[in-house]
Amino acid sequence: NPDLTAERLTATFDTHAMAAQIYGGEMRARRRREITAKLAEIPELHDSMPLPYMTREEKIMESARKLTVLTQRMSEIIDPTDAGELYHLNNEVLGIEGNPMALHGVMFIPALNAQASDEQQAKWLIRALRREIIGTYAQTEMGHGTNLQNLETTATYDIGTQEFVLHTPKITALKWWPGNLGKSSNYAVVVAHMYIKGKNFGPHTFMVPLRDEKTHKPLPGITIGDIGPKMAYNIVDNGFLGFNNYRIPRTNLLMRHTKVEADGTYIKPPHAKINYSAMVHVRSYMLTGQAIMLSYALNIATRYSAVRRQGQIDKNEPEVKVLEYQTQQHRLFPFIARAYAFQFAGAETVKLYERVLKEMKSGNVSLMADLHALTSGLKSVVTHQTGEGIEQARMACGGHGYSMASYISEIYGVAIGGCTYEGENMVMLLQLARYLVKSAALVKSGKASQLGPLVAYLGARSEPTSLIDRV
């Protein structure tokens, strides 16, 4: 299309060099291109028809088909131990609508990584990485969402048999929403309030077998299924899960930080927020994921705005590209800037998370609270603004944006799921507010020197007026 070619000729920079900035280095950007080129040659990994024309069951079947091909051929396309390459491969092949193992990679394996002891990792993590078992992370409940303190699922320790008895006493206690819980997973890391000798030790994580490994049928004492269609993300079988006095061995409590001895002795974790690590992990990576979805929509809208001609700015001139209108630029360009800002802020946060994880493994959890507060705020602001940006992109495409041919409504639906999963945005903002109020109290009491680096500005002296346009 000559209009798009003309746009590409006016650029002042090399897009490969810019890609290196976006993806954290020239090597990473080049690998993405190589993976894309390799995939172009493997038709079994392409959509067999446009996804919007498929039913939910057809999409799940299509996705499972591609997953099996990927499992066989993955190592010839990517380095499977490289999370960045795996993420790109998934986006290209499986897309954003999810897949039967979506949570296996982003929640189950990281939870085992962070919370299982070395012996437990040897037992389960290896099998998970080999895809011999499929797992998910089940915390959220129907009646309480992700509010940890009010979860109703209990895990009561039976000293006589050295087992934990998992139970969901009411409908509201059902695990509700966890991705891939409904039909695909046969294991889950389950969060439940742990009781020993009548005392509640609070929420803890347990490795729980859900389905028979041979038949994939639910195990006795387990009620499990899909929660039905959602606004988007419908390839994921978000599920419900109930326990009827379901017994698991004591050693299925994830014991990297917490331990329960055979006699019921409880050894507490070094830090109360240690069990948040799986959520902090997802929130850290969510930012770059949101940046990518925002960029999807902006790519579509901006390219289309360079192709679409409508109306005249000067009556004596021919119809112009709609991208020439200042209103269209004002609609799209600030969100292009935000997409880059989210990507860069996300990359910084992921680095911080990796540092915290490393320090946690050696017992230092001091940065966890800071990171938890920061990622809570970032997750809320970024998902909200990403939703706004995708909606602007859709409207920038006029009527065609409303067609599934644009795919923008699916991108929107998937992206704004992030406003509620991993903690509802308002709750997350208040989480950060708690940290800010504590910091404000330090300032008020003259202890500004104790402020963390992220809030040091709260105690700093500022100029009486802004110097914007005065310097």
Q: Tell me which of 48, 161, 299, 366 binds other proteins, using CB under 8 A.
A: 299
* Site map 257..296 versus other proteins, x via CB under 8 A: -----------------------------------x--xx
- 40 near other proteins, rule: CB under 8 A: yes
Closest distance to other proteins from the beta carbon of 214 (Å)? 36
Contact 175, 208 (CB under 8 A): no
Strands 187-196 and 154-158: parallel
Contact 181, 188 (CB under 8 A): yes
> How many residues bind to other proteins according to rule CB under 8 A?
103
* CB hemisphere CA count around 454 (13 angstroms): 17
Closest distance to other proteins from the beta carbon of 397 (Å)? 6
Q: What are phi and psi of 201, to 5 degrees?
A: -100, 10
- 323 near other proteins, rule: CB under 8 A: yes
Q: Tell me which of 56, 92, 125, 264 binds other proteins, using CB under 8 A.
A: 92
Give the footprint of other proteins on residues 151-210 (CB under 8 A). none
Neighbours of 344 (CB within 10 A): 16
Nearer to other proteins, 274 or 433 (CB): 433
Closest CA to 421 of 203, 199, 216, 232: 232
Closest distance to other proteins from the beta carbon of 358 (Å)? 21
Nearer to other proteins, 14 or 263 (CB): 14
Structure tokens at 154: 């209990």
Q: Tell me which of 25, 27, 44, 50 binds other proteins, using CB under 8 A.
A: 50
Q: Tell me which of 153, 168, 302, 386 binds other proteins, using CB under 8 A.
A: 302
Contact 402, 266 (CB under 8 A): no
- 4 near other proteins, rule: CB under 8 A: yes
Q: Tell me which of 226, 269, 340, 367 binds other proteins, using CB under 8 A.
A: 340
Give the residue numbers annotated as catalytic, written as ranges. 422
Residue 356 and residue 133: Cα distance in Å, rounded? 28
**Strand runs (DSSP E) across 58-149, as ranges?**
135-138
Structure tokens at 321: 């590209």
With CB under 8 A as the contact rule, which of the stretches 144-152, 159-167, 277-285, 450-458 interacts with other proteins? 450-458
- 439 near other proteins, rule: CB under 8 A: yes
DSSP state, residue 145: B
